[in-house]
């Protein structure tokens, strides 16, 4: 039934592990798998190593009791996160190895260093923390000033950026298909937003809850990027990871909120599989039930809402989405319809049953999700 989440064998398995931080990489596994099968060239080998590395990161999360505690809501030692909206930031250089966190290279209050990757990520962490605090009144990812950590130059040709439940991990890319993952502020913010979800609604990473998890990260990444650039909803490109794809790849980005399914079309990577509406909903046992694919549907709903309301998307549209994510009523197994109902309720509570509420209902209706469905 359109708009409803139906568990299958994969989801039953994933549900057993859904209290753990999501296995979150900005590059979907279906892209890496396709690239890995493309032959013996350097990008294919880098994709195979990236898949193996991502699998090890997931295993480490499952085996680490500290990750289980954080997933259950324990912020660990993160009580004092800095002054105002700037969470305490610590940057590490993994030295193209996979031993985390690496060598500490910049701390909060420190001067810029010679490595531009370190400085870009430091700024991206700050821009994300500033959005959360200055616009939404939230101190860091957990609301209590959780320190922010990131490791750059992770792995050899690691073609991904990932949230490991504790820190942001970024690779240098393979240099041909995928470029430097520190170069896009929305990629940095996307991965940090997985930590925000971990410390708020805790959306599971399978099926429709997982697609919502990925979509929330795309939305937050887009909001941070647009705020850094000073763009309103109408002038923004609504692309996630623009500039990340190498010159040999015909494509604009990893995903498009404006037009899901159009971000790239390449012989190596294939065509962007994201649907914009429930009419194209993809049922698959891969990618935890298509979490990086079906996220195009709530992504497009947010784009429609933001552009219908106009102005900076981080204001009214973003407030509605963040109210739902952090408001305590979003269940970790929520499907699209449940999320839609809560956004409609949040709009009514914050703004009344006027323009904003009507815009939320129209946006979800346009993507084929009924906020009244149960």
The DSSP bridge pattern shows strands 148-152 and 270-271 to be unpaired
Cβ count within 10 A of residue 358: 13
Radius of gyration of the chain (CA): 19
CB 5 within 8 A of CB 371: no
Instruction: Find the length of the chain.
Output: 374
The separation between CA 111 and the C-alpha centre of its own chain, rounded to angstroms, equals: 28
Measure the CA–CA gap between 34 and 48, rounded to whole angstroms. Answer: 10
Instruction: Enumerate the active-site residues.
Output: 191, 292
Measure the CA–CA gap between 92 and 157, rounded to whole angstroms. Answer: 17
In the numeric block, which tokens belong to residue 56?
Answer: 């090890």
In the numeric block, which tokens belong to residue 351?
Answer: 């703004």
Is the backbone of residue 45 left (phi > 0), alpha (psi -120 to 50) or beta?
Answer: alpha
State the number of CA atoms in the 13 A half-sphere of 343 facing the CB. Answer: 33
Measure the CA–CA gap between 129 and 306, rounded to whole angstroms. Answer: 21
Helix, strand or coil for residue 301? helix
Q: Which residues pair with 107 in a beta bridge?
A: 90
Q: Which residues pair with 248 in a beta bridge?
A: none
């Amino acid at each position: 039934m359109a708009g409803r989440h139906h568990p299958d064998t994969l989801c039953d398995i994933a549900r057993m592990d859904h209290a753990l931080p999501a296995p979150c990489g900005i590059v979907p596994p279906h892209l890496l798998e396709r690239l890995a099968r493309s032959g013996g060239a350097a990008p294919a080998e880098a994709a195979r190593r990236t898949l193996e590395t991502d699998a090890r990161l997931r295993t480490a999360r499952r085996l680490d009791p500290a990750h289980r505690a954080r997933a259950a809501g324990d912020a660990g030692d993160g009580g004092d996160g800095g002054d105002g909206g700037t969470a305490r930031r610590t940057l590490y250089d993994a030295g193209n190895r996979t031993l985390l966190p690496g060598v500490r290279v910049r701390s909060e209050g420190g001067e810029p260093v010679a490595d531009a990757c370190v400085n870009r990520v430091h700024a991206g962490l700050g821009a994300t923390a500033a959005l959360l605090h200055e616009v939404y009144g939230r101190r860091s990812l957990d609301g209590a000033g959780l320190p922010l950590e990131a490791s750059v130059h992770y792995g050899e040709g690691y073609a991904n950026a990932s949230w490991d439940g504790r820190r942001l991990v970024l690779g240098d890319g393979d240099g041909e298909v995928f470029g430097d993952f520190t170069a896009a502020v929305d990629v940095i913010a996307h991965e940090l937003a997985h930590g925000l979800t971990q410390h708020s609604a805790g959306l599971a990473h399978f099926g429709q809850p997982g697609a919502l998890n990925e979509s929330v990260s795309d939305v937050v990444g887009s909001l941070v990027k647009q705020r850094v650039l000073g763009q309103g909803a109408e002038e923004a490109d609504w692309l996630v990871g623009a500039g990340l794809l190498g010159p040999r790849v015909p494509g604009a980005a990893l995903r498009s909120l404006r037009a899901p399914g159009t971000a790239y079309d390449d012989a190596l990577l294939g065509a962007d599989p994201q649907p914009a509406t429930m009419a194209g909903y993809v049922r698959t046992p891969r990618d935890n039930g298509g979490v990086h694919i079906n996220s195009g549907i709530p992504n497009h709903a947010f784009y429609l809402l933001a552009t219908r309301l106009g102005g900076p998307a981080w204001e009214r549209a973003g407030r509605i989405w963040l109210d739902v994510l952090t408001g305590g009523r979003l269940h970790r197994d929520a499907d699209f319809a449940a999320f839609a109902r809560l956004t409609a309720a949040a709009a009514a509570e914050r703004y009344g049953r006027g323009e904003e509420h009507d815009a939320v209902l129209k946006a979800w209706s346009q993507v084929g999700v009924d906020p009244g469905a149960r």
